[in-house]
Amino acid sequence: MDLKDLYRDVILDHNRKPRNFGALTGADGQADGHNPLCGDRLTVWVRLDGERVADIRFEGKGCAISTASASLMTEAVKGKDKAAIKALYEQVHTLLTHQDATADASLGKLAALAGVSEFPARVKCATLCWHTLNAALDRSADAVTTE
């Protein structure tokens, strides 16, 4: 268990300066995510162009893993279509839950989340934003939870 592997510079940077942070006006879909155990809360907004996510923003309060994961996610999915996002999430999920998983080059900066797999209690911090994105894409207004 190596702390430096969890709190990599990319994670700390995105926690301190989250990208695409703040409400998105003219959104087509929006969803709230909540992790009652640690109190993480976030909202994800998406603007769609057909099947493609033309713009995405998020806002919320959470731990470094949850904030950085959401920030990295917004950068990674912007411009991608729903099918590509689903495939990307599956790759991220494998990375988060399998200690022997190797980060594929296609993951880009999301590979910085690899250290989370050593800390099983923190996996749900990193996945909250993805569940919330899925709900937003379904244009569901219901809050989702990872508990």
Interacting residue ranges for another protein, rule: CB under 8 A: 1, 3, 6-7, 12, 36-41, 61-65, 119, 121-122, 125
User: Nearest distance from residue 1's CB to another protein, in Å?
Assistant: 6
Q: Which is nearer to another protein, 8 or 52 (CB)?
A: 8
Tokens of 136: 């937003």
Which residue is associated with the tokens 């990375």? 95
User: Nearest distance from residue 121's CB to another protein, in Å?
Assistant: 8
User: Nearest distance from residue 143's CB to another protein, in Å?
Assistant: 15
Long-range contacts of 109-114 (CB under 8 A, 24+ apart): 109/10, 109/72, 109/75, 109/76, 110/72, 110/73, 110/76, 112/8, 112/10, 112/11, 112/68, 112/72, 113/11, 113/65, 113/68, 113/69, 113/72, 114/5
Tell the burial category of 94 from Cβ atoms under 10 Å away from its Cβ (0-12, 13-18, 19+): middle
User: Nearest distance from residue 40's CB to another protein, in Å?
Assistant: 7
Q: Which is nearer to another protein, 14 or 41 (CB)?
A: 41
